[in-house]
Structure 1
Amino acid sequence: MSVVIDEAHPAAEELRLSKVLAALSDPARLTAVRVLAATEEVACTELQQRAGLTIGRSTFSYHQRVLREAGVLQARVRGARRMLSLRRDDLDTHFPGLLDAILDTAPEML
């Protein structure tokens, strides 16, 4: 099975803290990232279900794009499915402790 990597991902050295923080500032995106942090890779439709997001498909696609362009998640196409994973290694390398601090914060405190 072939795997195609979407070209819209910034290189690790291009990650910017302001973009990452802006991407994580939305409650729906943060919820999706929390689910991704607990798994290695998940199909985008399954991620929306696991996160309990009751938003439209186009809105969820927009949130995925924001997270992908900020360098928070990686999208891969496998057959007819878009698989998503968290770019934890890149984020931890460039912003040590940031992702854990955000994920460890209670949702109501954000």
Structure 2
Amino acid sequence: MFTDMNEALEAEALELTPIGSGQSAAASLVVAHQARDKDDLADLLGALGLPCGEDDLVRLLPHMNTSDNPTTGDTMPANAFTATAASMLNNGDSPEHVRETLGLSESELAEAL
């Protein structure tokens, strides 16, 4: 809140200019990087008042951050466990402690070694 009324009047007098096509395109790319899928992208663009027609979506689809392995809800693949096991072993943890902590089999632990 303004304590000086002159500051408030000056702020109200500022001219608002609509965003240009370059700014709109840049904002759309940022949104595309955050979207999960095409429907999510359309919803996000619409909520922000950015162009969200079919042509706009097709142009932005290659910029979406697609991942074949979702980061939530799934267990880590064995190679992530073995990488963690190798790191723990390099830090001086005992093999038995590593197996118990990560729930690895002996063969998986041997692969990490």
Between Structure 1 and Structure 2, which shows a larger proportion of helix residues?
2
Q: TM-score, with normalisation over the residues of structure 1?
A: 0.28
Q: TM-score, with normalisation over the residues of structure 2?
A: 0.27
Between Structure 1 and Structure 2, which shows a larger proportion of strand residues?
1
* Structure with larger RCO (C-alpha < 8 A, sep 6+): 1
Rg bigger for which structure? 2
